[in-house]
Structure 1
Amino acid sequence: MKTRYIVYIALALVVGFLIFNKFHGAKDKNGGPTASGGKGKRKNGPVPVNVMIVKDTSVSNSIDITGNVDPNEKVNLISQTAGNITGIYFKEGGHVSKGQVLVKVYNQDLVASLKQNQYQIALAKENEYRSRVLLQKEAVSQQEYDTSLSNYQSLRAQGEVIKAQIAKTEIRAPFSGTIGLRSVSPGGYLSPTTPIATLVSTDPMKLTFSVAERYGPLIKPGSKVNFTIASSRETFSATVYAIDPSIDQTSRTLTVRAKASNPDGKITAGGFAKITLTLDQIPKTIMVPTECVIPDIKSSLVYIAHNGKAEQRAVQTDLRTDTKIEITQGLKAGDSLIVSGLIQMRPKVPLKIVKIIK
């Protein structure tokens, strides 16, 4: 019996202690006297922040793509006729001019035939002249004159054929440029299937790249692009001059070509290019650091400093760069945008401005 009373008393003491601790412990946490007689500390002081003064700025809407660098002109030189090579008149890797003779093939037989033809033409011309004089005097018939005239014209045509054959024995540069390594040697036999060398024109250079279909209306001849290549640390500029009229059915892209000036030969043909294509220029807009914009369910949020407290603003965004984002609605020039301490931000939180960024 006594044991039961003792249990009841113990339970009553525990319940009483819990009730006492609930009321008096809460008081201690809110700044009242503690068990040791000290005073509690308040933790609702102002939050230190940095703010940025919002201002209007201009920004370029651009995309980064890749492309290929090609020479303006490129041709693999071959011969139109077969024969032994009698001369090579270019230096490997050197510059050649348009029309310059690069290689000659044996043509002495053709030269001799041309001389023989020229003698025959001279004789046929005299015969045609005599026949024409006699025809005027009615000493020969029209048929006899026509025969002499036909013979003269036929020999002249044969001469033109021989000259064309001689021209084929001389391989000339079709345009000015830099010639590559040769694959033939003097005295070797050259056929129409034998490669001689590669000739390229490297000023200007062609830049070929593809852009997504949706960017088609924003690109036109005259548009500027900047690009870099692995063989140089410089940034080069090119101008769009041609756009493929059809869209690639597989990649849904448009092929674009631009020309880049290359007077010093710093741009190497066949290289890989990293291209920055400016689509349009926004003359007046607001750009803020990306970390200042807090995603929300319906919109995006930012905090501004107003009268010493944090104020929440809903904003609309558009263009993004590596570090900034465009605000189209919700901010105006002159607003004090909070750029630090955002984890602690709540509406009406008191602020202590540490630094102002203009």
Structure 2
Amino acid sequence: MKTKYIIYTALALLVAYLIYNKFFSEGAKKSAAAMASGKGDKKKGGGPVGVNVMIVKDTAVNNIIDITGTIDANEKVSLISQTAGNITGIYFNEGSKVTKGQLLVKVYNQDLEASLQQNQYQVALAKQQESRNRQLLQKEAISQEEYDTSLTALNSLKAAADVIKAQIARTEIRAPFSGIIGLRNVSPGSYLSPSSPIANLVNIDPAKVTFSVPERYLSILGPGSKIRFRTESSMENFTGTVYAIDPSIDASSRTITVRAKAPNPKGILTAGSFAKINLTLDQIPKTILLPTEAVIPDLKSSLVWIYHNGIAVSKPVKTDLRTDTKIQVIEGLQPGDSVVVSGLIQMRPKVPLKILKVIK
């Protein structure tokens, strides 16, 4: 029992000592006095926030939009025959260049050639008869009716010759324009009908680029507007010029179809591929551009943080055009304002700021 009382007494003395040392010792009194006078230690991190600022100035900027389009051939046709018959000759290589008027395929026409030759003999005889009758008419040896009959016979034979020549021409398939001919679907000796496709002929220099733009740009877009574009199959940058605009607006999408031509002397552009188009609409001579990260979206509008008299001040702004890295501010800022472009996550109203770098 005595041991138990001794332990309780020792614990009570220890607690009393700790309480005295905490609240009534000389060190505790000094600490309390320091806290009361405000001279105690403060937490670190209460200094100004270091930021980079950008001095606002008027900048000339091109009004550019990024859209997608389709590359088309300047001219494209599926070659077919106007007459039926066996193919007697193929005069092109697949994938080769051909010129306008070049003979590509020939269909059997010997019967027509024979008919034409027979007709030529008849025409020669009719010419002689007409010449004799004309002389006799001048001597009043025959009547006008007899001469007219011989003249009509001659003209009828000439017309028949023209018909045969047209039929012969239809047995020769020629290139309607210069370009590159594709893979052939026929062989020598096969029977060719008017519904049988022979090959595709494509002219893709220049290439046509077809795309759609929103209705709002109709008033500032026209023939002569320049475009820049790239394709998935090439790392080159291509240029084109708008030459035609569809006269009607698509009612469902409220867009208008535009077509441009792009030089393609090397044949790099391929019909049917997609084009990533950079379209320059006009130039804005004076406007304010800020880095995209400096403009913070808000519920009703957007805002930026301004360095003003050493503290952070928020300003609502109105924006318009955007690029990959910049955004146009059309209301809320004036040239000379210092916009905070870094440390934005620490921004609060009236937070002290320290400028680390000025971007002009």
TM-score category of the 2 structures, normalised to the smaller one: 0.7 to 0.9
Q: Secondary structure at the match of 2:35?
A: coil
Residue 324 (structure 1) aligns with: 326
Deviation at residue 214 of structure 1 after TM alignment? 2.5
> 1:41/1:201 Cα in 2 relative to 1: closer, same or farther (>3 Å)?
closer
Deviation at residue 348 of structure 1 after TM alignment? 4.2
Deviation at residue 353 of structure 1 after TM alignment? 1.4
* Cα-to-partner distance string for 1:188-216 (whole Å, 9 max, x where unaligned): 11111111111000101111112222322
The one-letter code sitting in structure 2 at the alignment partner of 1:340 is S
Residue 246 (structure 1) aligns with: 248
Residue 32 (structure 1) aligns with: 35
Distance 2:101 2:82 in 1: 16
* Cα-to-partner distance string for 1:97-139 (whole Å, 9 max, x where unaligned): 0000001111111111111111111111111111111111110
CA contact (8 A) 1:33 1:39 kept: no
1:177 aligns with 2:179: yes
* Cα-to-partner distance string for 1:244-268 (whole Å, 9 max, x where unaligned): 1112233332221111110000101
Deviation at residue 330 of structure 1 after TM alignment? 3.2
Q: How does 1:254-293 map to 2 (within 5 A)?
A: 254-293=256-295
Residue 341 (structure 2) aligns with: 339
Distance 2:232 2:147 in 1: 74
> 1:103/1:355 Cα in 2 relative to 1: closer, same or farther (>3 Å)?
same
Determine which of 198, 201, 205 is the counterpart of 2:200.
Answer: 198
CA contact (8 A) 1:54 1:332 kept: yes
Determine which of 155, 158, 163 is the counterpart of 1:156.
Answer: 158
The one-letter code sitting in structure 1 at the alignment partner of 2:116 is L
Residue 12 (structure 2) aligns with: none
Distance 2:273 2:143 in 1: 73
Determine which of 137, 140, 162 is the counterpart of 2:139.
Answer: 137
CA contact (8 A) 2:227 2:280 kept: yes
Residue 68 (structure 2) aligns with: 66
Residue 231 (structure 1) aligns with: 233
* Cα-to-partner distance string for 1:4-40 (whole Å, 9 max, x where unaligned): xxxxxxxxxxxxxxxx9xxxxxxx8997269xx9634
> 1:250/1:194 Cα in 2 relative to 1: closer, same or farther (>3 Å)?
same
Distance 1:348 1:148 in 2: 112
Q: Secondary structure at the match of 2:137?
A: helix
> 1:180/1:321 Cα in 2 relative to 1: closer, same or farther (>3 Å)?
same
> 1:41/1:247 Cα in 2 relative to 1: closer, same or farther (>3 Å)?
closer
Distance 1:341 1:264 in 2: 50
> 1:271/1:278 Cα in 2 relative to 1: closer, same or farther (>3 Å)?
same
CA contact (8 A) 1:32 1:40 kept: no
* Cα-to-partner distance string for 1:31-79 (whole Å, 9 max, x where unaligned): 7269xx9634475422211112222222222222222111100001011
Distance 1:308 1:38 in 2: 26
- Comparing 154-163 with 282-291, greater Cα deviation is found at 282-291
> 1:31/1:181 Cα in 2 relative to 1: closer, same or farther (>3 Å)?
farther
Residue 16 (structure 2) aligns with: none
- Comparing 277-286 with 117-126, greater Cα deviation is found at 277-286
CA contact (8 A) 2:34 2:40 kept: no
Deviation at residue 347 of structure 1 after TM alignment? 4.5
Residue 187 (structure 1) aligns with: 189
Distance 2:307 2:170 in 1: 83
- Which ranges of 4 or more aligned residues in structure 1 deviate by more than 4 Å? 28-31, 295-299
Q: How does 1:85-124 map to 2 (within 5 A)?
A: 85-124=87-126
Deviation at residue 219 of structure 1 after TM alignment? 1.8
Distance 2:298 2:271 in 1: 49
CA contact (8 A) 2:85 2:193 kept: yes
Distance 1:207 1:90 in 2: 29
Distance 1:197 1:296 in 2: 60
**Structure 1 gaps, min length 5:** 1-19, 21-27
Distance 1:29 1:58 in 2: 63
Residue 211 (structure 2) aligns with: 209
Distance 1:42 1:186 in 2: 92
> 1:247/1:314 Cα in 2 relative to 1: closer, same or farther (>3 Å)?
closer
CA contact (8 A) 2:76 2:202 kept: yes
User: Normalising to structure 1: TM-score of the pair?
Assistant: 0.85
Identity of aligned residues (%): 69
